[in-house]
């Protein structure tokens, strides 16, 4: 397994052998975590090489709702 490298778009560490994509730019090969990062880099590589990063947000998953605490577990007013 190769050492991990930085995806210049999102900042994620990527194993070059398992990367979703690779782009050669000005003599350097860059590796990406997703096809989306490849597309963003290809469109404006110099923006990402200057240090700009995309903010990665985790998907929101909600299962059920919040339950009201039982009265026995609720804080008692002072």
Q: 0.75 exceeded by the pTM?
A: no
DSSP 8-state secondary structure symbol assigned to residue 64: S
Residue the block writes with tokens 């090489």: 49
Residues in the chain: 78
The two tokens of residue 62 are: 């909600």
Q: In this predicted structure, what is the pLDDT of residue 64?
A: 66
| pLDDT values of the chain reduced to their tens digit, one per residue, 78 residues | 679 999 999 999 999 999 999 999 999 999 999 999 999 999 999 999 987 777 666 566 666 666 666 566 555 665
Residue the block writes with tokens 């990527």: 14
The two tokens of residue 17 are: 């052998």
């Amino acid at each position: 397994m190769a050492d991990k490298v930085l995806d210049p778009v999102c900042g994620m560490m990527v194993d070059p052998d398992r990367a979703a994509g690779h782009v050669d730019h000005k003599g350097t090969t860059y590796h990406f975590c997703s096809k989306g990062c490849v597309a963003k880099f290809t469109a404006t590589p110099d923006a990402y090489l200057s240090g700009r990063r995309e903010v990665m947000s985790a998907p929101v998953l909600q299962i059920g709702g919040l339950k009201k605490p039982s009265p026995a577990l609720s804080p008692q007013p002072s």
